Every structure is written in C-alpha cells, then in structure tokens.
Structure 1
C-alpha cells in the first residue's frame, strides 16, 4: 500500500511537471513559469524516491542506508518554498517578488542545511528500512531532524493556503484563476494533514512515550491527495484560454486605458518586459494583471482628479483630464483630491467600458503624441 499511494503521487507529479515543461520551452525567461516547473519536479522527485523499489537501490548506490530520506524531505521543503515564490511572482511587482523569493530561498537552504547536518550524524545508517518514521523517530537526533522538517513544511503550507485563498478573493472576475487558487489552498490544507498526523505521532512519542503507528500510515493518503489537488489548482489557470475568448477580448479592450496609465506611471507594471508577458501563460492571469495595473494607475492619479464620475464616459473623461493635469504639473484642488471609486460587482465590465470610452476620446490620441 505504501508504494501504491506514493506511486500515484509520483505519476501525478511527473505528468504535471511535463505539462508545465511544455509551457516553459515556449517561454524560458518567465520566472514564475520556471519556478512552478521546478516545484513540480521536486514534488515528483520526492514521491518517486518514496517508492520502495527506487528508494532501496539508491540507498545501496550511495552506500549510506536511509540517506535517501534526506533527499525526499528536502525536496518537500523546497517544493513548498518554490510555491510561495511562485505566488509572489503572480501577485507582486517583479522586484518585490524577487526580494521575497530570495528570502524563501535562504530559509529553505537553512532548513535543508540543518536537516542535512542532523541526519548525517544520526545513528540510523546501519541498516536499510522503508519504515523510517516508525523505526527511527524515537532517536534523539532524528527527533530534532523530523521536528525541523515538519515545522518548516507546516508553516509553509499554512502560508500557501492563506495567501492563495486571499489572492483568489481578488480575482472574482477571472474564474479559472480564482478556482485554481482555491484548489491550491485546498491542496495545501490536505497536505498539512500529512504534517498533522506525523506531528501528532512525534508529540505523543515525545510527551507520553506512546506509539500510535497508524498515524504514520494515515498521513500518506493526505500527502498524495494534497499534491494531486495542488497540481490541479496550479495548472488550472492555464486551462482557461480554451474557453476564455471573452477574457481575451476584455484583455485587448483594456489596452488603450492601460497604455495611457502605464506611460504616465511605468512603475505600475507588475513585471518588466524581460520577464515575459505573464508568469502564468494564460489569459486569466494577464487579464488580472492588467486590471491591477489599471487600479494602481488610477490610485496614482488621485492627486490630479476631481469629482466622482457616475458613468464610464465620465470616468474616461476624468482620467484623461487627470493625465493632462499631471503632464502639465497642475494637481486638482485639495478638496477634490479624495476620489475613491466605489466597489463594483462587475469591475471588469466597468473597466472595459471605461477603456472603450477612453479610446473614443480624440484628446486621448493627442495625449499619445504629447
């Protein structure tokens, strides 16, 4: 049963890895795509190494029994750190995302370094066993090793679930991206079930010297189910273009408004042109990114705006007027600066109407030449 459960996870992992690798070949310079492909590779590697017929020969080749467990657990930690990096690339401007990615990388390397030091000195290399937790969890050095592993993985999975769920709340106009992020959060929660079961096993063993071996076995289905849901959620946004003709049309319709705001405020770009058109490869993300950049551009225009337009035509005129004011260095009167657009249930449709109205304004084309 052990090999079957982990074998299913390994198969799902390599399928997901191959799927994203096909996208990466078309857009190698895309940092988010590189990150998610690497994450799938580490996950697939972890599940593959857990299969007994692979685990034991590798240990034999290394000449150090049970050392393969270090590669398995390190791959799981690195996978979680890469997913956190990827969510950062999806949501934040490239410079901020890269700073966060470096932090996650350093944290991951610290965890892997500590685990490596502990497992290399632990007295567990005298004989091979596939029942690693049941056999060695009671040993003091290994107790520290497993505690560091489970704690770091648990914290990362909770962070992934929280951030993916919050991110999904911002993408209600983009169903494929929203569904994918929610499934990603669910996958993180299911994967956390693995940590909860094995963490419970360690706590009972340490605090009361009670061994409940079934907790170790129950954790395995959580790991495989969680990863399969992870793979589904993280690839789902790229399924959208097959049914996303309306979204593609909306993406193109936002071009006039986005271009004008981007020229005025280049810093609103979530990613530089060198980073690829999107870090996701699907229209869902590109459309979401364009909406966010328009919102940021509108926020940057607040000192130059006046009034609170009630129609898309009036909003387009207000934006154009604000762009002229900014170009000429004439902020709006102080009393009129606090322009806060009211939340709308159909924000995408509103922005499309505003952009089309903006494109119809003759002065907008004059502004392009200014």
Structure 2
C-alpha cells in the first residue's frame, strides 16, 4: 500500500468528523457523541501516521530512527480503547456503570501505551524500516516485547468487539442490527489482520520467513477493516436521522388537509407566521400544529356534537376501529363547523348552545383527523349536508 491508500481513509474520517463538529458544539456533554468524535480522530490519525511517507517524515523531523513505530502502535492501542468505549456508550445502561467500565478500559490501554513507549526507549532500532518494522525487529530485545504488547492489546479489543456486537445484534432489530452486523464483519477482518501480523512475527521467532504476511497482506486488511467498521458505526446513526426526518416531513405533509381546512376560517389580515426555507422540519410541524389548535379555538362556537356523534356511530357501524372512528367523528365535526362558520361568521354555534372542542392527544391524533378529512366518505357526506345553499 502506498501513501494514498492510507490518506484516502484518513480524509474520509476527517470529513465525518467535520460533519459531527456542529452537533458536538451543541451537545458536547453527550458521552456517545464525544466517543464517536474521539474514535474518528484516532482512526484518522492511525491512517495518517501509518502511511510510509508520514513515517519517513516523522522519523526525519525527530531525528530518531523508527520513532514512528511506537507512535503508530500507541495510536492503534488508543483507537482500540475508543472502540470499546463507544460501544459501551452506544449500548446504553446506567450512566455510572458505563463511566466505570469506560474508565477501566481507558486505564488498561493507557498502561499498554506507556509500556510501548518505555520498551521502545529501552530497545535498539537504529535501521529505519518503513514497511517491515515488525518482522525486521521481531527478535530484538525489548522491541519484540513492544510489538507483542500492541498486537495482543489490539487482538483483545477486536475479540471483545466481535463478541459484544454479535450478542447485542441478536437482541435488536432494524438499522441498529444491520450496523452491528457490519461492525462484526469489519472486526472479523481485523482478526485476519492480527493473524497475519502474529504469524509473521511468530515465524521470525521460530527462524522462518513469512514477512510477506505482515508487509503485503496485513496493511490492506487493516484498511478494509477500518472502512467496513466505520460504515457499521455510522450507518445506524445516519439512517435513524434520515428516518426521523422522513417521519417528521411526512407528519407535516399529512397535517396539510386539516391545516388548510381550519386556516380557511382565519380572519382576513390576520398575522401569518412565515417560515424560512431552511427552518427545521420539527419547527414546521410545531407551527402547523399550533395553527390547527388556534383554528379549533376559532371554530369552538360552531362545533356541534351531533355531527360528531352521528359520524362516530356510522364509522363504527361500518367496521372502523375505535381510534379511526374518533378521528372520523372529529373530522366530520370540524368540516361542519367550517361550513357553519363560513355561512354565519357571527353565529352563536349549535342550537342547544353546547360548545365542544376537539380533544387531540398530540400530532398522531391530528394526523388521523387530517387523513379522515381528505379520505373519509362520511366526512364528505357531512360536507354536502352542511354546504350553504347554492354553494
């Protein structure tokens, strides 16, 4: 693998991180969001500093041959810890338990990082090796312990990730399960990376030469594993956000029939809140619901329970369930009230003087009423019965 093979994944991690920065600035106390950002930073750093051109540059800047080796190994170890911490925060549970578990993993992998630095300082690696450091120094005192430490730490994290994510995937559904299965696939590739590295190093210990496993096979495995795992981490978050956005816009659109129905009774010249084109869908839904409730208040004197009760009985007789029948009944009363208000703007309402307000328990009820206004034949019949003469 050449420099671009490392830098392209690093850029991809950087772009993902930039996309997360606005959310981090707003919710920087969110441990899950912080864990995602730390993982992206470390993943990008691993790819950047593991690239042969960067290795050569860092060695040249510091004047220490092979100083990039403990740097890259430390970043990989920190990345392994960040993956575990992310999964613990993502899976959820008691906050104190998550915090204690995360701290234990961070402390354990910090000890490994310190060991890597100390062992490199104690060892002797005078010949710069850009691609085959592991196998070239596999039998060098202290250096071989450093290599074994980072490989074992990485392998332990990979095995833990595969185990946790697989067990978790069996208990969930939807995009989360898909993401977890992808993460398991990515870390399975990481197991192949560990196997290639360990086999090459062990072969050196036994006097054999399997260097090609470490030099040529392991790097593309590491790159593929990181990219696949990143997709697994990002996919559920992105798809959940897209799904939530789609649901919100769908709610806004489905409220349109009810909003237009009650908005037609607004007095001419009444103030109208105009939303900018970049306004979030959630704000638009809230504004539309508010306009609908304001319309209900205006129509209060024109609501007639007789229309509601009749429509409810007919809907139930036609086989509608309880929620649908209530929505049809409310929609019929709203439609009749709109026509009554248009025919007699100064009228006092129903003959018996009863005032009835539609009680809608949140946007779901309003959506049902809006749907009934548009599609229910019972509501259409009420419209025809209450239409003004010649109208």
Same fold (TM over 0.5): yes
The answer for unaligned runs of 5 or more in structure 2 is: 250-321, 323-363, 365-391
Judge conservation of contact 1:3–1:50 (CA < 8 Å) in 2: no
Mean Cα deviation higher: 233-242 or 19-28: 19-28
The answer for unaligned runs of 5 or more in structure 1 is: 250-312, 314-355, 357-370
Shift of the 22–59 alpha-carbon distance from structure 1 to 2, 3 Å rule, reads: farther
Shift of the 100–80 alpha-carbon distance from structure 1 to 2, 3 Å rule, reads: same
In the alignment, is residue 163 of structure 1 matched against residue 164 of structure 2?
A: yes
Residue in 1 that maps onto 2:207: 209
Residue in 2 that maps onto 1:329: none
Judge conservation of contact 1:80–1:156 (CA < 8 Å) in 2: yes
Shift of the 171–247 alpha-carbon distance from structure 1 to 2, 3 Å rule, reads: farther
> What is the TM-score normalised by the length of structure 2?
0.59
- 1:129 is paired with a residue of what secondary structure? coil
Deviation at 1:247, TM superposition (A): 7.3
Q: How does 1:117-196 map to 2 (within 5 A)?
A: 117-124=118-125, 126-131=126-131, 132-172=133-173, 175-196=174-195
Moved beyond 4 Å, runs of 4+: 245-249
Q: How does 1:227-306 map to 2 (within 5 A)?
A: 227-240=226-239, 241-244=241-244
Shift of the 141–45 alpha-carbon distance from structure 1 to 2, 3 Å rule, reads: same
Instruction: Measure the CA separation in 1 of the matches of 2:22 and 2:162.
Output: 27
Judge conservation of contact 2:135–2:204 (CA < 8 Å) in 1: no
CA deviation profile, 1:316-347 (whole Å, cap 9, x unmatched): xxxxxxxxxxxxxxxxxxxxxxxxxxxxxxxx
Query: Which structure has more RCO (C-alpha within 8 Å, separation ≥ 6)?
Result: 1
Residue in 1 that maps onto 2:338: none
Instruction: Measure the CA separation in 2 of the matches of 1:68 and 1:4.
Output: 18
Residue in 2 that maps onto 1:33: 33
Instruction: Measure the CA separation in 2 of the matches of 1:192 and 1:248.
Output: 41
Shift of the 248–86 alpha-carbon distance from structure 1 to 2, 3 Å rule, reads: farther
Shift of the 7–179 alpha-carbon distance from structure 1 to 2, 3 Å rule, reads: same
Instruction: Measure the CA separation in 1 of the matches of 2:156 and 2:21.
Output: 28
Instruction: Measure the CA separation in 2 of the matches of 1:180 and 1:61.
Output: 40
Q: How does 1:42-53 map to 2 (within 5 A)?
A: 42-53=42-53
Shift of the 239–114 alpha-carbon distance from structure 1 to 2, 3 Å rule, reads: same
Deviation at 1:44, TM superposition (A): 0.8
Shift of the 183–19 alpha-carbon distance from structure 1 to 2, 3 Å rule, reads: farther
* CA RMSD, 1 decimal: 2.1
- 2:26 is paired with a residue of what secondary structure? coil
Judge conservation of contact 1:45–1:75 (CA < 8 Å) in 2: yes
Judge conservation of contact 1:164–1:185 (CA < 8 Å) in 2: yes
In the alignment, is residue 23 of structure 1 matched against residue 23 of structure 2?
A: yes
Instruction: Measure the CA separation in 1 of the matches of 2:101 and 2:68.
Output: 30
Deviation at 1:159, TM superposition (A): 0.5
Judge conservation of contact 1:6–1:220 (CA < 8 Å) in 2: no
